[in-house]
Structure 1
């Protein structure tokens, strides 16, 4: 069930708030101002033009952002995301495709909930880029190293956020902050082609650039493929979620993995 409502702020700009109930779990998402989803409450979906003044960039700025690379090999290059509507939507589509629970599609006959989830990913990215300092958060994107720039398409993404959670800092000797890695996603047809490895290596370079010693991420305990990827990238398991206190609601346990980055070379 989906219920959406709009409201006007003091500047008479539309702001959307949607409440979605899926399998008795309710999620409330607030989308950026002026985001328009036609006939949302009827369960249909149309395109959503988003004239964001904060994401408009000149060609010179775009070229400058494209040169902001953190990893480069024969196959892939990794750089910061360009803060343009087009590229941000590309990032949202990759993450939505990777994280959307496919069982929802078996319940609902159209792709409304998938599209809703994609817009939510866009909303989250938009908020972080707008409100977080550039040395506290970045979204890194991977693309083919040899493709023509005009025909370039993203193949993977990863989020890096500086955090100071005391529950995690207890595992990081003498550290006062760390980079939390999340949102890693690779397009299906490019998986098992070292895209994720390139993204993780770029996070190492980012940590050196920001002067932060530790990288932290979480993985599902039973996702052995992801855990092997992170182990090969130098991450070590330091803790795991406590067993669920109830047997009626099974939950996938997560493990905490940490990597210490050497700052001797850049």
Structure 2
């Protein structure tokens, strides 16, 4: 997928990663938003339709034959996100950026009386167990888990105004409250806009994932980025 930021591994419907700003297509008409009035809050089921529209619009084209499968892809996003919101754990969060008023186009997505402009998710992933450590001890170790950011998406007509940055900073603050000193994410190596933002905010290359799709089909590699947060 190009479900902006790479999804959790258990969601095969979305196969992209780290595409904060989506495919690099001609920019859409932009509308302004006063980021000082932007609110970042946890998503609710009432936001589900609006968030699904943002994610689907950001990562799936409706051009040509893809228009036939778009409704199916959108339904997959809707069901996956609904499941995560319903089954959320204490260390999972889906954040949403909303505004009460914007320089608005007719396509902006609304939830109740708010304009939904962006979203991001964060949950915990597990570090593979090292040799000599029992699986039970590994599972109990907080050090074997790390906060992973995924599915960062901003409405196409409200990008490059600081919304994504505010969503990222809110995730980092949440990770600190959970007791972690680093956050992680993936980004595709050819996603220049996303990489510029991440490096500007202090993310640095930790590893490079070179899967079979990269080797056999020339697909862009996934870059695994890390950012140190707080004073630990």
TM-score between the two structures when normalised by the length of structure 1: 0.61
2:52 counterpart of 1:95: no
Q: Which has the higher strand share?
A: 1
2:73 counterpart of 1:105: no
Instruction: Report the CA distance shift for 1:245/1:225 in structure 2 as closer, same or farther (over 3 A).
Output: closer
| 1:14-163 correspondence runs (5 A) | 74-84=36-46, 87-100=47-60, 102=61, 105-108=63-66, 111-133=67-89, 135-144=90-99, 151-163=113-125
Q: Residue 36 of structure 2 aligns to a residue in which SS?
A: coil
**Bigger radius of gyration among the two:** 1
Instruction: Report the CA distance shift for 1:241/1:247 in structure 2 as closer, same or farther (over 3 A).
Output: closer
Superposed CA deviations along residues 117-139 of structure 1, whole A, max 9, x for unmatched, are 11111111111122231x22111
Instruction: Report the CA distance shift for 1:254/1:247 in structure 2 as closer, same or farther (over 3 A).
Output: closer
Superposed CA deviations along residues 22-75 of structure 1, whole A, max 9, x for unmatched, are xxxxx987xxxxxxxxxxxxxxxxxxxxxxxxxxxxxxxxxxxxxxxxxxx614
Question: Alignment RMSD, CA only?
Answer: 2.8
Instruction: Report the CA distance shift for 1:210/1:115 in structure 2 as closer, same or farther (over 3 A).
Output: same
Q: Residue 212 of structure 1 aligns to a residue in which SS?
A: coil
CA distance, structure 2, for counterparts of residue 175 and residue 247 of structure 1: 32
Q: What runs of 5+ residues in structure 2 fail to find an aligned partner?
A: 1-10, 14-34, 103-110, 130-141
Q: How far does residue 175 in structure 1 lie from its aligned partner after superposition?
A: 3.1
1:6 alignment counterpart: none
| Number of residue equivalences | 182
1:9 alignment counterpart: none
1:252 alignment counterpart: 220
Q: Is the CA contact (8 Å cut-off) linking 1:177 and 1:212 kept in structure 2?
A: no
TM-score between the two structures when normalised by the length of structure 2: 0.69
